[in-house]
Amino acid sequence: MLNFKEEVVKAIKSQVEELEEDEISVQIEVPPSYEMGDYAFPVFRLAKIFRKSPPSIAEELANKISDNPYFSKVENKGAYLNFFVDKSKLVETILDEIKEERDKFGSSEMGKGKTVIVEYSSPNIAKPFHIGHIRTTVIGNALFKIYTFLGYDTVAINHLGDYGTQFGMLISAYKRWGDKDVIEKDPINELLKLYVRFNEEADNNEELRNEARHWFKELENKNEEALKLWEWIREISLKEFNKVYDMLNIKFDSYAGESFYSDKMPDIIEELKGKGLMKESEGAYLVELEEYDMPPALIMKSDGSTLYTTRDIAAAVYRKKTYDFYKNIYVVASQQNLHFKQWIKIIELMGYKWANDCIHIPFGMVSLEDGTLSTRKGRVVFLEDVLNKAISNTLDIINERNPNLENKEEVAKQVGIGAVIFQELFNQRIKDYVFSWDRTLSFEGETGPYVQYTHARINSLLERGDFDLEEKVDYSLLNSESEINIARLLYNFPQVIVDAMEKNEPYFVTRQIVEIAKAYNKFYNSSPVIVDHKELKKARLMLSFATKTVLNTGLGLLGMEAPERM
């Protein structure tokens, strides 16, 4: 695809030999409004070269490079050179590219030969898959899809929380109060009841805490009874989790959780000892990190049991040996910032140069309108309930507005679940937010259903207009400001995907497809598509097809579906 920014660089380089192309490129800006041009170049740095005032330099350069086939005009404003892209070339470039590439438009091979691991979702076994898990799950899935779209060999890992002291609690609680038949009928709810009861009683009974520690230690020691109970709890929990993953259409390449690394931790502990990084403290072992402005990191408790830090170090070393990753990404809440800084620093101190390729992608927390989520106290909103309610609410709207819609149950699922995903990905991931049913299930304004409806509306137009992709189109007929604005947004889409990848921020894609949908609807409301003028109709249908294609791709990158009818 014709790169207009590169043409700006070439035009400036032709007159300023003293600057390298890379130096020119990094200084090019995008003005705040198209009235000021599509690209702008500040000439302040050229004052020393030309020994003139910046406004004089800008005026002189504008005169010299104004005759350029890619730009309708080049003008100087103060110390800036403003470049206005030739609109007919812009429209022809972008529509030809989308016609050629179709659903591959915006993809690339920039990641070819590089493996990126994305660890996300990672719920704790035997605990509810609640609304607090939605963020890691959908942010991680979107990043997985974005990296894959850009050519990376991407590996999706669900690092299940299937180890640790909570299993000592559950084993102890089950042995005291559990009923296998009751649990198997409703695994997560019944296990949650046991977990909550154990914590309530343990608050006044330290002996229960000791009992839980004992059973976790027995699990680490491969006690037959403990292992059998653990395997059963893990299996029935995963079945429940997979109901939600199926609803979200999410699949993982690996479910290797914390337990997978249990036999790999002794080597890590020996390596830390051998490299003089571990210090004994009251029978426990830790790594001092005060000189890096962090508290000590506990590696092994006095009873010999291990911790999250030990397991994360073992997991990272295993992944490097197994996948030789380019990036090892962890989509985990910002509450764990210190934990990640600690263990990544320890890996660096162990002498592993790839430590900085382990990247923590934090996100803000979800709270309820009446307070924080708490599994221990049983204060949770089940994610499956949220998704089912979204589907039910959407079906009610369809029955009200379009009761004869074909496959309306399937469309309700696509739109309802899409609404939940889209809300999660609409803002920067680091922001905290309060979960609200009303906001989650609203279809008004800048929402997923709004974008999906735009996609469906365009599909209907293409069918009614007998659109033929192979017909030749006169692009010069697409010259109104609303048409050009769509073309600009479509042209920027590939760079938006790259920006989303580089900053690990899916919301760049979300915002872009909202802007594209808004621009298209503005065009649609002012410019009839199916008109008597045959050539104009073909041109506007092609613009519509290109818009639909990009909306479909954008929704797909977010983990959403694009209904053909709504």
Q: Which residue has the tokens 């149950």?
A: 409
Interacting residues of 445 by C-beta distance below 8 A, sequence separation 6+: none
Q: Does the active-site annotation cover 130?
A: yes
For residue 366, list its beta bridge partners: 433
In this structure, the number of other CB atoms found within 10 A of the CB of residue 237 comes to 23
Interacting residues of 336 by C-beta distance below 8 A, sequence separation 6+: 360, 362
Number of H helices, E strands in the chain: 21, 13
Extract the tokens encoding 30. 């995008």
The closest alpha carbon to 134, from 334, 505, 384, 501, belongs to 384
Does residue 238 contact residue 198 with C-beta atoms inside 8 Å? no
Cα distances from 297 to residues 166, 170, 276, 376, in angstroms, run 20, 26, 14, 25
- CA–CA separation, 206 and 208 (whole Å): 5
Extract the tokens encoding 276. 């003089």
Cα 348 to chain centroid, rounded: 27
Catalytic entry in 52, 64, 104, 130:
130
- CA–CA separation, 164 and 381 (whole Å): 24
- CA–CA separation, 242 and 202 (whole Å): 31
| The pairing of beta strand 39-42 with beta strand 71-77 | unpaired
Extract the tokens encoding 366. 């979800």
| The pairing of beta strand 358-361 with beta strand 327-331 | parallel
Catalytic entry in 5, 48, 77, 127:
127
Catalytic residues: 127, 130, 133
